[in-house]
Amino acid sequence: MIAEKMKNMVANSSAIRAMFEEGNRLAEIYGAENVFDFSLGNPNVPAPEAVKKAILEILVEEDPVALHGYTNSNCGYADVREAIASSLNERFGTKFEGKNIVMTVGAAGGLNVILKSLIDPGDEVIAFAPYFGEYRSYTNNYDGVLVEISPNTVDFQPKLNEFEQKITPKTKAVIVNTPNNPTGVVYSENTIKKLAAIMEAKQREYGTDIFLISDEPYRELVYDGAKVPYLTKYYDNTIVGYSYSKSLSLPGERIGYLVIPDEVTDSEEVLSAANVATRILGFVNAPTLQQKIVAKCLNEKTDISFYDRNREALYQGLKDCGFECIKPEGAFYLFVKSPVADEKEFCAAAKKYNLLIVPGSSFACPGYVRLAYCVSYETIVNSLPKFRELAKEYF
């Protein structure tokens, strides 16, 4: 018999996964080219050529015993951590050292490591809706309590008044994700400054530490020259969680890192905790070959123009059908207002046209749906007549 806690998790298991499986089922019946699956954030752009080159070079250059062995520190290879710190310093004018970097098993692994390091049972973790639904599970893993800030459906910037009211002496962490999944919105510098000021004031008021966790797997995926502020510059107690899943199209390889700057309260202790958490969560260390690969590809990124073309085509196509959506500035998601209050009903109607889209309630934002446009351009173009038929049911 499985654990009680897992029973709930299984019962509420991701609607997105279920949709993915439904896509496979429909593809078998109708043929893959007639199913328009916008359900998963799995990149459709191949990893840059430099990744393949790096793999081949590493296999020749490195001693195979060391390359495939455990790393000395659970935080990862020293040279890789140094290289990442230097690259961040060059790009963002920060002053990190290798010791500030903890290599992780993707952003998901990094979030679990840092929450394990910080959260005592009953501690509160704040997230701004709409948010990546796994935050709830990750917080629950450590018996934390996820506190939700309701969505601002005008521009999807965080609702700061509500945020200020919901911070309590038990608030231990605040997770932000910009560029955002599921909206594609980038939080403005003005928003970040205000958010930081609120958190500073609350730390002083309660005499506590409130950690800002910046979950940023989409940092490199921005359009029209949008700027994504580097959050450690605005608030000392900031920890960054990064991933190469989307920036290098390597989601299955499970590689990313945490940045724990010296400015974080008890930084050395937090770093030691992250080291131990990496070990005792069973990761032991981030995959060694992948660590070496990303260190050789620090100036590489996925082909943004591919996603940008999809973004323009899908956004314009849906608007022309009469749907209401905000133009994403980053990531590869489009958040569309459901034409009926119950967006699950809308998702079911879309399925009749073999259009697979995800209900906003999976992101704590009912009344909306998410479309992941990391699909082929043909999928976008061929789906538009189906969206037009769907729209006729409503407008």
Ligand X SMILES: Cc1ncc(COP(=O)(O)O)c(C=O)c1O
Residues near ligand X, by CB under 6 A? 41, 106-108, 132, 177, 181, 215, 217, 243, 245, 251, 256
> If we measure between CA atoms, which residue out of 38, 112, 14, 20 comes closest to residue 382?
38
Do residues 301 and 220 lie in contact, with contact meaning Cβ atoms separated by under 8 Å? yes
Output 132 or 315, the one with its CB closest to ligand X.
132
CB nearer ligand X, residue 41 or residue 339: 41
State the minimum distance, in angstroms, from the CB of residue 182 to ligand X. 8
- Of 222, 247, 231, the residue nearest 328 (C-alpha): 222
Find out whether 43 and 220 touch, Cβ atoms under 8 Å. Answer: no
- The distance of closest approach from Cβ of residue 93 to ligand X in the complex, given in angstroms and rounded to an integer, is 25
Query: In the numeric block, which tokens belong to residue 169?
Result: 């002496």
Which of residues 245 and 288 has its CB atom nearest to ligand X in the complex? 245
Give the residue with the Cβ less far from ligand X, 177 or 203. 177
- Three-class SS of the chain: CCCHHHHHHHHCCCHHHHHHHHHHHHHHHHCHHHCEECCCCCCCCCCCHHHHHHHHHHHHHCCHHHHCCCCCCCCCCHHHHHHHHHHHHHHHCCCCCHHHEEEECHHHHHHHHHHHHHCCCCCEEEEECCCCCHHHHHHHHCCCEEEEECCCCCCCCCCHHHHHHHCCCCEEEEEECCCCCCCCCCCCHHHHHHHHHHHHHHHHHHCCCCEEEEECCCCCCECCCCCCCCHHHCCCCEEEEEECCCCCCCHHHCCEEEECCCCCCCHHHHHHHHHHHHHHCCCCCCCHHHHHHHHHCCCCCCCHHHHHHHHHHHHHHHHHHCCCECCCCECCEEEEECCCCCHHHHHHHHHCCCEECEEHHHHCCCCEEEEECCCCHHHHHHHHHHHHHHHHCCC
β-pairing verdict for 36-37 and 368-372 = unpaired
Task: For the CB of residue 241, give the shortest distance to ligand X in the complex, in Å.
Answer: 8
| CB 204, min distance to ligand X, A | 30
- Between residues 42 and 267, which has the closer beta carbon with respect to ligand X? 42
Residue with the shortest CB distance to ligand X: 106
> Rounded to the nearest whole angstrom, what is the least distance from the CB of residue 63 to ligand X in the complex?
28
**Of 93 and 282, CB closest to ligand X:** 282
CB of 41 to ligand X, least distance (A): 4
Q: Minimum Å distance from CB 181 to ligand X?
A: 4
Q: Which residue lies nearer to ligand X by CB, 185 or 390? A: 185
Q: How far is the CB of 228 from ligand X (least distance, A)?
A: 13
Q: Which is nearer to ligand X, 144 or 339 (CB)?
A: 144
Q: Between 131 and 353, whose beta carbon lies closer to ligand X?
A: 131
Supply the minimum distance, in Å, between the C-beta of residue 353 and ligand X. 25
* Between 243 and 288, CB nearer to ligand X: 243
Residue 256: CB minimum distance to ligand X, A: 5
